[in-house]
Amino acid sequence: MASALEGLRVIDLTVWFQGPVAAQHLADFGAEVIKVERPKGGDQGRGVRSIKALPVGDWNQYFLVINRNKKSMALDLKTEAGREIMYRLVERSDVFLSNLGAENLEAWRLTWEKLSAINPKLIYATTTGYGPYATTVKPSFDMTVQALTGLMSRLGEPGEPPIYLGMGSGDAYGGLLAALAILVALWHRNTTGAGQRVDASLYGAQLFLAAPTLQAWLATRDPRYAAQQSRAAARNPLWNTYRAEDQWLMLCVPNRDDAFAALAGSLDPADAGVGGDARFATAAARREHARELVAALDAAIARRTAGEWMARWTPLADRHVAASPVATLADLARDAGAWANDYLMETHCEEVNRSVTVRGMPVGLSRTPGTIRGLGPELGQDTEMILFEMLGYDWDEIGALKAKGAIP
């Protein structure tokens, strides 16, 4: 099976999540990704031991999944000899990707100016906290940057604490945008021969992530796009969360008379009045009396289980009634569609010598699908082979590099 990005070589000098996941997308589609790590401890992501106060278990899923399909090379970039190896690698690579601080790249002489002088065709990619023209210089993490965007303070019921979108949600987006930027830059290089510098930042990514409400807020400055809104006063009560007898449902019905009639007709006889109530007779009336309509639907929907409602509503799809139970992660892990589309996949984990379930491919390519050829590498496992086969060092030179501390 061919891979879309076969023949591309990427130097992946990244740690934690935003940078590694960018390279993971390229590796999934066949790029050769060489993860360069410090000899002592490697990527800090290798040290993750607990998530949400739970021990991570017997395999470090945090590191192993986002570093799948990669090679690992241990290199001490604090040494002159280590940097010489890096320069030789840069000569033979298409992409250099880093999320280390600018001061590190400066100190280790791995700046854009330096590396593009070595390889003018190089794509020099960074993932940062605040972007190439940032005035903020302090360390950046996903949640502290998400806090600045305004995304968090608009979620949840009024008066509740702000809500973070989920662990690494912004990192994931920055990583994806960086991967896109790299492919765009490579396309340009393949047509013109020119390399360039690209960047995706947590701040920029998360502002774009907020588009569904932020773009509307920029246009109107209407606080309802920026502040917490109660489900009890949903602007369209038919497009809202409702609690059935046993669990929550997400109901998605457009505020149109025909669709409302279909929904109202599905309610129990005790609630038959909802459909004929003058307060709910038109779209405008339903909006005006949103609180009353939410309350009426709350009472009606609480009478039956989510399964009963889904059985009633599924046949009404052609009348614009759509709904879904609000699933848990356990439900998702069993979701037939998630498996059928390779959003979830099984793969062998060498660390525990068994098959494990991992996040799969969020993009399908019919002819060149992404593949998992192996989970994250052991620290430095490919160092000597890369030096010998790719970079042309002989075994005596490799011995000398060890003696100098450039490699472990």
Residue (239 or 388) nearer to other proteins, CB: 239
Residue (169 or 266) nearer to other proteins, CB: 169
Could you tell me the smallest distance in angstroms from the CB atom of residue 384 to other proteins?
31
Could you tell me the smallest distance in angstroms from the CB atom of residue 81 to other proteins?
29
Could you tell me the smallest distance in angstroms from the CB atom of residue 23 to other proteins?
13
Instruction: Determine the Cα–Cα distance for residues 236 and 251; give it in Å rounded to an integer.
Output: 11
Residue (29 or 108) nearer to other proteins, CB: 29
- Decide: 76 and 406 in contact? Cβ < 8 Å: yes
Residue (156 or 275) nearer to other proteins, CB: 156
Residue (362 or 405) nearer to other proteins, CB: 362
Residue (281 or 326) nearer to other proteins, CB: 326
- Decide: 169 and 146 in contact? Cβ < 8 Å: yes
Residue (278 or 329) nearer to other proteins, CB: 329
Could you tell me the smallest distance in angstroms from the CB atom of residue 206 to other proteins?
9
Residue (294 or 407) nearer to other proteins, CB: 294
- Under DSSP, is residue 54 helix (H, G, I), strand (E, B) or coil? strand
Query: Which has the closest alpha carbon to 200: 187, 214, 183?
Result: 183
Could you tell me the smallest distance in angstroms from the CB atom of residue 118 to other proteins?
17
Query: Which has the closest alpha carbon to 157: 242, 212, 232?
Result: 232
**159-162 CB contacts, 8 Å cutoff, 24+ apart:** 159/228, 160/228
Give every CB contact of residue 304 below 8 A, 6+ residues apart in sequence.
244, 245, 268
Residue (207 or 390) nearer to other proteins, CB: 207
Could you tell me the smallest distance in angstroms from the CB atom of residue 319 to other proteins?
12
Instruction: Determine the Cα–Cα distance for residues 328 and 315; give it in Å rounded to an integer.
Output: 24
Residue (73 or 301) nearer to other proteins, CB: 301
Instruction: Determine the Cα–Cα distance for residues 24 and 12; give it in Å rounded to an integer.
Output: 9
Token digits of residue 164: 């973070």
**Strand 344-349 with 354-359, pairing:** antiparallel
**Strand 32-37 with 9-13, pairing:** parallel
Instruction: Determine the Cα–Cα distance for residues 139 and 81; give it in Å rounded to an integer.
Output: 29
Could you tell me the smallest distance in angstroms from the CB atom of residue 284 to other proteins?
13
Could you tell me the smallest distance in angstroms from the CB atom of residue 389 to other proteins?
23
- Per DSSP, 161 falls in state P
Token digits of residue 73: 């090379």
Q: Please tell me the number of Cα atoms within 13 Å of 166 on its side-chain side.
A: 4
- Decide: 281 and 274 in contact? Cβ < 8 Å: no
Token digits of residue 7: 């023949």
Could you tell me the smallest distance in angstroms from the CB atom of residue 385 to other proteins?
26
Question: For residue 207, what are the CA distances in angstroms to 204, 214, 240, 362, 381?
Answer: 5, 8, 25, 22, 38
Token digits of residue 268: 């129990």
- Per DSSP, 232 falls in state G
Could you tell me the smallest distance in angstroms from the CB atom of residue 334 to other proteins?
11
